[in-house]
Amino acid sequence: MIFWEIAKRNIRINVLRSSLAMLGIVIGVVAIASMGILGNSLVASVSDSLSSVGDSVIVTPYSGGGGRGFGSASSSANLKITEQNFQQIKRVAAPNVAIPIYQTAEHMKIGVGSDDIVAVIYGLPSDDVPDLLNLKEGVYNNGNSGCLIGPTFAKDHNLIVGSRISIGTNGDKGTLRVTGIIEERGMSFDISTDSALVVTKEWFENTYNRDADYDEVVVKVKDGDTASMKIAIEKQLNKRKDMKIVNVMDSKATLATIYSTFGMVTTFVTAIGGISMVVAGVSIFNVMMMSVTERIKEIGIMRSIGTQKKEVMSMFIYEAAIIGVIGSTIGGVMSIMAGYAISALILNTTKHLFTIANALSVAEGMGFGIVICLACGFYPAWRAANLNPIEALRHE
């Protein structure tokens, strides 16, 4: 249609002015989309390092505040979960499995003459280990002299299945043989095994003289309804409001909170990017108003020879749309490049770049750019269409 052609030609003859308006949109799209990409990549990166613990409820001794960090059981030696409490949890959790866990930090040596190191040791019932941990290699440990080790621990200390570790400052707590290496779990809400050892419950109780006073209980919820399980355990164990016994953490809800927080951060930084888009919008508005003002007489001629208001309006809307589409497309391509650079520099990886979420961020930025252009082009176009043709014809 002729009005599309006129819009294109007008942009072409005012190439510098149009390019500057486009540049504003490009910057706006890049700001929005690359911030979105960064946020999404950050979430994906964190998700990678969080193990799949969405089906766990973690019970720890009540410590007053109720808060706790990833994979760290209560650090206060006197706060434990008793056997009686454990049995109550087990009954509430049935038929789901409840796993009692011991935890301590211990000195140890790997090989003769090696340096003394300190690592976390978890004690778990042998039968329950497969419910919680998967092995990368080797076999689950059933004997008292064996242990499982995390992949980071194995890598850092060059350990393989069959390697031996002396436990205690001078090996006074015996030697453990590595029977298996655990699959990488990343950060986790229950136990963080990547740099730790996992021994049998019996070895832990014998070595540290512990007797059914657990640091933590993990309930694996098969149907995924962790929220109901949390409520059920709290109802059973924290009956008295003035004397709570346990803290119960719903890993799924916690995970959701983390993602929601990241989502809010992403939205916030994207909104900051949005400010540049608003500035670009002002520039588009300005350019379109200039375009209308320069062409008042032309509009008058068009109206006088039979051009409808909506046709005049379409001509200016096309102009805004062309600036918006070209600017947004360039911005979209550049935001992928910017997202790549930011991910490489800040997250040290670009493997999360080509995801649906990032594609949506780019589409969102581009869409916003086009909508801003159209919105800012609307009033000048409306004004042009509603000029009095007689006055427009007289305009010099």
Partner 1 sequence: MSEQPVMVFQDVTKVYPLPAGDVTALDGVSFQVDRGEFISIMGPSGSGKSTLLNLMGCLDIPTTGDIFISGTRIGDMSDIELTNLRRDRIGFIFQYFNLFPLLNIIENVTFPMMLKSQKAVDPEKGKEVLRSVQLDDSLFTHTPTELSGGQQQRVAIARALINNPDILLCDEPTGNLDSKTGAGIMDLMTELNRNGTTIIMVTHDPHIAEYSRRTTRIADGRIVL
Nearer to partner 1, 167 or 384 (CB): 384
Nearer to partner 1 (CB atom), residue 6 or residue 372: 6
Smallest gap from residue 278 Cβ to partner 1 (A): 31
Count of CB atoms situated within 10 Å of the CB of 306: 7
Smallest distance, partner 1 to C-beta of residue 320, A: 17
Residue 13 or 243: which CB sits closer to partner 1?
Answer: 13
| Between 62 and 316, CB nearer to partner 1 | 316
Closest separation in Å from C-beta 318 to partner 1: 13
- Strands 135-138 and 146-149, by their bridges, are unpaired
Cα→Cα distances 381→4, 287, 311, 315, 370, Å:
14, 12, 10, 8, 16
Residue 7 CB, nearest distance to partner 1 (Å)? 9
Q: How many angstroms from the chain centroid is the CA of residue 359?
A: 16
Compute, in degrees rounded to 10, the torsion defined by CA atoms 59, 62, 65, 68. Answer: -40
Nearer to partner 1 among residue 101 and residue 292 (C-beta):
292
Least distance from partner 1 to the Cβ atom of residue 340, Å: 40
Q: Is 212 left (phi over 0), alpha (psi -120 to 50) or beta?
A: left
* Residue 217: partners with Cβ closer than 8 Å, 6 or more residues away: 58, 59, 60, 81, 86, 89, 98, 99, 100, 101
Residues that bind partner 1 (CB under 8 A): 1-2, 5-6, 9-10, 13, 297-298, 301-309, 311, 389-390, 393
Report in angstroms how near the CB of residue 17 gets to partner 1 at its nearest: 15
Cβ of residue 13: shortest distance to partner 1, in angstroms? 7
Taking the C-alpha atoms of residue 334 and residue 302, their distance in angstroms, rounded to an integer, is 39
CB of 375 to partner 1, least distance (A): 25
**Between 9 and 91, whose beta carbon lies closer to partner 1?**
9
Give the Cβ contact number of residue 118 at 10 Å: 8
Give the span between the Cα atoms of 136 and 114, in whole angstroms: 26
Residue 378: CB minimum distance to partner 1, A: 19
135 or 393, CB closer to partner 1? 393
CA separation for the pair 146, 38 (Å, rounded): 44
C-beta closer to partner 1: residue 5 or 156: 5
**Contact of 138 with 180, CB cutoff 8 Å:** yes
Shorter beta-carbon distance to partner 1: residue 225 or 298: 298
